[in-house]
């Protein structure tokens, strides 16, 4: 087995070379994730979740006003594609180093109503110390806010893991004002998932969209500490 610190550094460099601006490792059995249901059903096979984050492009977000645009749809898909490529490469590097590794798709539904993916990349990102969970329930990066997308690679390599960082939205309420469904409340626990889903259903019926996307709370969240 390779030195795990060296291996972690190599994975971070690989991810950065493919466009990731955020990188972290979550301990899947650690106290941060215990009792959260994440990342079940994989926790028995894997001990770590490597989380990669890529930044959404500002010019695409600038075009969003009251609804998603075809440009945003394309950018959302392309970012997921780039994330999946980076996750595949990181998983391949782990496998070549002798470890089991599973690249979890950036965006793939395995349940409808309520919608659910394989696991919550943002929850793993929080456990890895990449950012904090904001009022919008999105993962808020200290530099890029919620204008990011994430992917995870699960592995049995005992990589050094991060811990959740302290942080909160402070006095910022930008996403509350931006949300057309009024789904966002004072605390992440107040998030109204049904109201958000109903609006995403509406948006998915717009011409040239056809997918449950929005982007308005993402656009609003450029948290940089100056709003505190
Ligand atoms: S995705 Fe859209 S509807 Fe849902 S919380 Fe964000 S802004 Fe509101
Ligand atoms: S927009 Fe402001 S209130 Fe909303 S999640 Fe981001 S930092 Fe928090």
Residue of 142, 133, 143 whose CA lies nearest to 217: 133
Please determine, for residue 223, whether its predicted confidence score (pLDDT) is greater than 80: no
Please report the pLDDT score of residue 25 as a whole number: 98
Q: pLDDT grade, residue 116 (50/70/90)?
A: confident
Establish if 225 belongs to a structural domain: no
Sheet of strand 101-104, all strands in order from the earlier edge strand to the far edge: 22-27, 48-55, 148-155, 101-104
How distant, in Å, are the alpha carbons of 48, 71, 104, 139, 193 from that of 87? 14, 24, 8, 19, 28
Domain annotation covers residue 52: yes
Q: Whole-model pTM?
A: 0.94
Asked if residue 228 belongs to a domain, the reply is no
What is the whole-number distance in angstroms between the Cα of residue 9 and the centre of ligand 2?
Answer: 31
Secondary structure class of 44 (helix, strand, coil)? coil
Q: Whose CA is nearest to atom 6 of ligand 1?
A: 217
Our mutation pick for probing the ligand 1 site, out of 69, 177, 180, counting the most ligand atoms within 8 A of Cβ, is 180
Give residue-wise pLDDT tens across range 165-205.
889 999 999 999 999 999 999 999 999 999 999 999 999 99
**What is residue 1's predicted lDDT score, i.e. its pLDDT?**
65
Contacts of 57 (CB under 8 A, 6+ apart): 75
Spatial CA neighbour of 6 closest among 129, 84, 94? 94
Q: Does residue 113 surpass a pLDDT of 90?
A: no
d(CA 20, CA 6): 18
Q: Residue 77's closest CA among 92, 101, 60? A: 60
> Which residue has better confidence, 100 or 39?
100
Domain membership of residue 13 (yes or no) is: yes
- Rounded CA gap, 116 and 72, in Å? 21
- What is the model's pLDDT at position 124? 95
Spacing of C-alpha 212 from chain mean position: 16
Q: What is the pLDDT of residues 2-38, one digit of tens each?
A: 799 999 999 999 999 999 999 999 999 888 887 777 6
State which of 133, 134, 136 you would mutate to test the pocket of ligand 1, scoring each by most atoms of that ligand within 8 A of its C-beta. Answer: 136
Round the average pLDDT of the chain to a whole number and report it: 93
The closest alpha carbon to 67, from 214, 204, 225, belongs to 214
The total domain count for the chain is: 1
Pocket test for ligand 2, best of 132, 146, 222 (most atoms within 8 A of CB): 146
54 found inside a domain = yes
pLDDT, one tens digit per residue, over 72-87 is 999 999 999 999 999 9
Which residue's CA is the nearest one to ligand 2's atom 7? 169
pLDDT in tens, 117-160: 888 999 999 999 999 999 999 999 999 999 999 999 999 999 99
213 CA closest ligand 1 atom index? 1
29-43, 160-174, 207-221 — which is least confidently predicted?
29-43
Residue closest via CA to ligand 2's atom 3 equals: 173
How many angstroms separate the alpha carbon of residue 210 from the centre of ligand 1? 16
Give the per-residue pLDDT at 228: 35
Identify the domain containing residue 100 by its residue range. 4-220
In the reported structure, the alpha carbon of residue 158 is separated from the centroid of ligand 2 by a whole-number distance in angstroms of: 33
Q: Are 209 and 203 in contact (CB under 8 A)?
A: yes
């Amino acid at each position: 087995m390779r030195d795990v610190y060296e291996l972690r550094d190599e994975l971070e460099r690989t991810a950065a070379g493919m466009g990731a601006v955020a990188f972290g490792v979550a301990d899947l059995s650690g106290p941060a994730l215990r009792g959260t249901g994440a990342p079940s059903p994989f926790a028995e096979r894997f001990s770590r979740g490597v989380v990669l984050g890529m930044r959404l492009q500002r010019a695409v977000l600038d075009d969003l006003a009251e609804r998603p645009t075809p440009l945003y749809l394309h950018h959302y898909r392309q970012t997921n594609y780039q994330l999946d490529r980076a996750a595949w490469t990181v998983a391949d590097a782990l496998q070549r180093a002798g470890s089991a590794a599973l690249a979890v798709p950036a965006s793939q539904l395995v349940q409808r109503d309520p919608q659910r993916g394989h696991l919550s990349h943002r929850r793993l990102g929080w456990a890895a110390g990449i950012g904090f969970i904001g009022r919008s329930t999105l993962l808020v990066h200290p530099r890029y806010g919620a204008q990011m997308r994430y992917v995870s690679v699960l592995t049995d390599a005992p990589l050094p893991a991060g811990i959740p960082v302290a942080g909160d939205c402070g006095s910022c309420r930008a996403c509350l004002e931006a949300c057309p469904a009024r789904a966002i409340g004072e605390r992440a626990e107040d998030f109204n998932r049904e109201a958000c889903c109903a609006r995403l259903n509406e948006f998915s019926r717009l011409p040239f969209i056809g997918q449950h996307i929005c982007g308005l709370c993402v656009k609003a969240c450029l948290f940089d500490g100056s709003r505190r």
